[in-house]
Structures are given as structure tokens and as C-alpha cells.
């Protein structure tokens, strides 16, 4: 299939539409938007309208009055609410290219999809970008974009492997000659880690914590492996005592967070090892040399690279800018015609 762009202008954009964060890349400028994928909806006089999007909406999570609700229009990498997703994408596109471009010709948009997305889910992502003002919309699979953004030799006859751990999904891609030789996505990532911490704290301490609190403690002191020091590294969690219904604070150790994260980490490792079994022998041989490159926010969890290296026996490298690799890769496709063969049909 031939994919033909019109003339790429500085007003065309690449979007990493993530479960946790949405990034927008403008050719010649780089990543111009990097905000949480959150929308605040206000109901007044019987109608609903968007009150805030992105960072402005995220600060409201868990603190809104009854007539305002915050929501995340993506779950596990795919759209759960088309209307709100469109509003969010429209907001970010306008912020990136200006209202004038939207009113005149609209930008061409390259937007990422999880490799495991169904055709219905792909059509929903394409439709959301189109309805949000995209003149033409092209899809790229996330592992491919992540690999390009991480600087892997995707166009060469060398097999390289990328693991992108995002908020909603873990994407694994084995790429050779600009082709996703194997790609899979599992619905486990940073969100499942947050949920596992929340469930652990509720079970062990009878304390209900908010999602922001779970994410904060994960980033501050989460780890995939317990070390002898892990019992002495402690943090504080505030929430609501489930039995008494009053505010309460507990102290938790890194060793406990490691225990809480055991299941999601095991699931991530399982996806990676299963993917290695699917690789063709020649490509697997290349992966032994090059190792695994990790991208996505979840790859910043302490020691997750060590766990993956131990379990696979392969070298594991963290990409230089793990949180923006997918956007950089999708942006590169916009800027360099040589990469256009990586785009996939909707």
C-alpha cells in the first residue's frame, strides 16, 4: 500500500495519544505539548461542557464539586469515550498549531495506536483525530514509533526489540527492515501498578488512597526489586481509614511497595519473554547482540530493567528520553519521507 502525504508543513503534527499523557510534536519545533490525558466536564443548566483539559484538568482529579467530573478518555491505550477524546485532541491540536490553521486547512496528523488495538479501536482513534480537525490522519503503531524515537536501526536488516511501558499498556515490538516483525500489546502498565499499590494499602492498612497518591509513591520510592535497604526506605501515605471513615496517615516501606508491585511486574516480564519466543531465529540472534531497549514512563520504575535483564538473559538499555520517544518517533516519520513506510492502514 502506498501512503502519500500532501506537502508537509510546519503546521502538521504527530500525536502520541497516551492513556496517561498526550504529546504533540510539530516538525521543526519538537514536542510542543506534553500534558496528562485528562478532561474535566462541567454540567450546568442540563448541558455538559468541557471545563478544563490536560494539566488544568489533572489538578482537579479527586477534588471536584458534584457538578464537575474529571475523566480520562483512554483506557488501556484505546478510546473509551469518543466524544471526550475528540474534545481533548481538538484542544491539544489548537494549542499546538493555532486556531488559524484549524480554520484554514487543518493539519495532517500522524497518531499512534497500540499494536494490539482492534480494527474498531483503530477506526475510533482515526475518527477522533479527524473529527478534532485533522485534514488527513495516518496511524503508526506505538512500538514502531518508540523504536524510531529511541534511535534503533529500524530500516536496517537487523532485528531490534523495543519494550514501551506506558500508563495503560506494555507494547513489545521486534522490528527489522522498517517492518514490525512481531508486535504485541498487553493491558498492563503504570496504571495497573498504581491500582496494585492502592489495593495493597487497603488490604494491609485499611486505608483508601487516591490514584494520585498511589502514583506519587510509586514514582518516589517504587522499585521492581527489594534490596537490603528497602526496609529502611520509607514514605508516608494519607487517605481515608476504611473502617472509621476518617483521614489517616501511614508509613510504608519500599519493601512493601515491591511486594505490592509483584503481579504487574510479573505480567510485564511474561509479555516480554513470550514475545522473544515468537521471534524468528535470525532476528532473535540480533536481539541477543543489541539487547532490549526500554521506553515509556513505566520503564523509569527503579530496577525494572534489572528484572527484565535477569529474566531474559539479555542486555537491557533505557532509551535516552523514555517519556517522549513515541512522540519523537512519530514526528520523525512526518519529517523524513524515508520512514513513511512505517505508517499502517486504519
Ligand X SMILES: Nc1ncnc2c1ncn2[C@@H]1O[C@H](COP(=O)(O)OP(=O)(O)OP(=O)(O)O)[C@@H](O)[C@H]1O
- The binding site for ligand X (CB under 6 A) comprises 16, 18-21, 77, 166-169, 189-191, 215, 218-219, 222, 296-298, 300-301, 323
- Cell of residue 129, nine digits: 483525530
Do residues 164 and 149 lie in contact, with contact meaning Cβ atoms separated by under 8 Å?
Answer: no
- Cell of residue 134, nine digits: 485533522
- The least distance separating ligand X from the CB of residue 339, rounded to whole angstroms, comes to 20
- Cα–Cα dist 176/181, whole Å: 6
User: Do the annotations mark residue 218 as ligand-binding?
Assistant: yes
User: Do the annotations mark residue 20 as ligand-binding?
Assistant: yes
User: Do the annotations mark residue 72 as ligand-binding?
Assistant: no
Q: Which is nearer to ligand X, 137 or 146 (CB)?
A: 146
Q: Which is nearer to ligand X, 194 or 286 (CB)?
A: 194
- The least distance separating ligand X from the CB of residue 234, rounded to whole angstroms, comes to 18
Could you give the angle at the alpha carbon of 173 between the alpha carbons of 170 and 179, nearest 5°? 150
Q: Which is nearer to ligand X, 87 or 142 (CB)?
A: 142
Q: Which is nearer to ligand X, 160 or 295 (CB)?
A: 295
- Cα–Cα dist 173/275, whole Å: 8
Name the residue with the smallest CB distance to ligand X. 190
- The least distance separating ligand X from the CB of residue 78, rounded to whole angstroms, comes to 8
Could you give the angle at the alpha carbon of 91 between the alpha carbons of 321 and 74, nearest 5°? 65
- Cα–Cα dist 138/129, whole Å: 9
DSSP per-residue codes, 104-167: TT--EEEEEE-TT--HHHHHHHHHHHHHTT-SEEEEEEHHHHHHHHTT--TTSSS-EEEEEE-S
Q: Which is nearer to ligand X, 95 or 219 (CB)?
A: 219
- Cα–Cα dist 173/105, whole Å: 35
- Cell of residue 31, nine digits: 514536542
User: Do the annotations mark residue 216 as ligand-binding?
Assistant: yes
Residues 6 or more apart from 99 whose CB is under 8 A from it?
none
User: Do the annotations mark residue 177 as ligand-binding?
Assistant: no
Q: Which is nearer to ligand X, 18 or 149 (CB)?
A: 18
- Cell of residue 237, nine digits: 501515605
Q: Which is nearer to ligand X, 163 or 334 (CB)?
A: 163
Q: For 312, which DSSP code?
A: H
To the nearest 10°, report the CA torsion of 321, 325, 329, 331.
Answer: -80
- The least distance separating ligand X from the CB of residue 79, rounded to whole angstroms, comes to 11
Q: Which helix (H) or strand (E) holds 54?
A: none
- The least distance separating ligand X from the CB of residue 303, rounded to whole angstroms, comes to 11
- The least distance separating ligand X from the CB of residue 14, rounded to whole angstroms, comes to 13
- The least distance separating ligand X from the CB of residue 219, rounded to whole angstroms, comes to 4
User: Do the annotations mark residue 296 as ligand-binding?
Assistant: no
User: Do the annotations mark residue 19 as ligand-binding?
Assistant: yes
User: Do the annotations mark residue 215 as ligand-binding?
Assistant: yes
Binding residues for ATP: 19-21, 167-169, 215-218, 297-300
Annotated binding site: 19-21, 167-169, 215-218, 297-300
Amino acid at each position: 500500500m502506498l501512503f502519500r502525504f500532501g506537502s508537509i508543513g510546519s503546521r502538521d503534527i504527530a500525536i502520541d495519544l497516551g492513556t496517561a499523557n498526550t504529546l504533540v510534536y510539530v516538525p521543526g519545533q519538537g514536542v510542543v505539548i506534553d500534558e496528562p490525558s485528562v478532561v474535566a466536564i462541567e454540567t450546568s443548566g442540563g448541558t455538559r461542557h468541557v471545563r478544563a483539559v490536560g494539566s488544568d484538568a489533572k489538578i482537579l482529579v479527586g477534588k471536584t464539586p458534584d457538578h464537575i467530573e474529571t475523566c480520562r478518555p483512554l483506557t488501556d491505550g484505546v478510546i473509551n469515550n469518543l466524544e471526550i477524546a475528540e474534545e481533548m485532541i481538538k484542544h491539544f491540536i489548537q494549542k499546538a498549531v493555532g486556531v488559524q490553521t484549524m480554520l484554514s486547512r487543518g493539519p495532517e496528523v500522524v497518531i499512534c495506536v497500540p499494536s494490539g488495538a482492534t480494527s474498531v479501536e483503530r477506526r475510533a482513534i482515526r475518527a477522533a483525530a479527524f473529527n478534532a480537525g485533522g485534514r488527513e490522519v495516518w496511524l503508526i503503531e506505538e512500538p514502531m514509533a518508540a523504536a524510531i524515537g529511541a534511535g534503533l536501526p529500524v530500516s536496517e536488516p537487523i532485528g531490534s526489540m523495543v519494550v514501551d511501558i506506558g500508563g495503560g499498556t506494555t507494547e513489545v515490538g521486534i522490528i527489522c527492515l522498517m517492518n514490525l516483525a512481531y508486535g504485541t500489546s498487553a493491558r498492563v502498565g503504570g496504571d495497573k501498578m498504581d491500582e496494585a499499590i492502592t489495593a495493597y494499602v487497603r488490604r494491609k492498612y485499611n486505608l483508601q488512597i487516591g490514584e494520585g497518591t498511589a502514583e506519587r509513591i510509586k514514582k518516589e520510592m517504587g522499585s521492581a526489586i527489594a534490596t537490603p535497604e528497602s526496609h529502611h526506605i520509607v514514605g508516608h501515605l494519607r487517605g481515608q481509614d476504611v473502617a472509621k471513615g476518617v483521614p489517616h496517615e501511614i508509613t510504608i516501606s519500599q519493601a512493601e511497595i515491591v511486594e505490592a508491585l509483584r503481579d504487574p511486574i510479573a505480567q510485564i516480564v511474561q509479555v516480554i519473554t513470550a514475545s522473544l519466543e515468537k521471534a524468528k531465529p535470525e532476528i532473535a540472534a540480533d536481539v541477543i547482540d543489541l539487547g532490549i531497549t526500554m521506553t515509556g514512563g513505566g520503564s523509569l520504575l527503579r530496577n525494572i530493567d534489572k528484572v527484565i535483564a535477569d529474566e531474559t538473559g539479555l542486555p537491557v538499555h533505557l532509551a535516552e528520553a523514555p517519556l517522549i520517544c513515541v512522540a519523537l518517533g512519530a514526528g520523525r516519520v512526518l519529517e523524513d519521507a524515508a520512514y513513511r513506510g512505517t505508517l499502517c492502514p486504519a
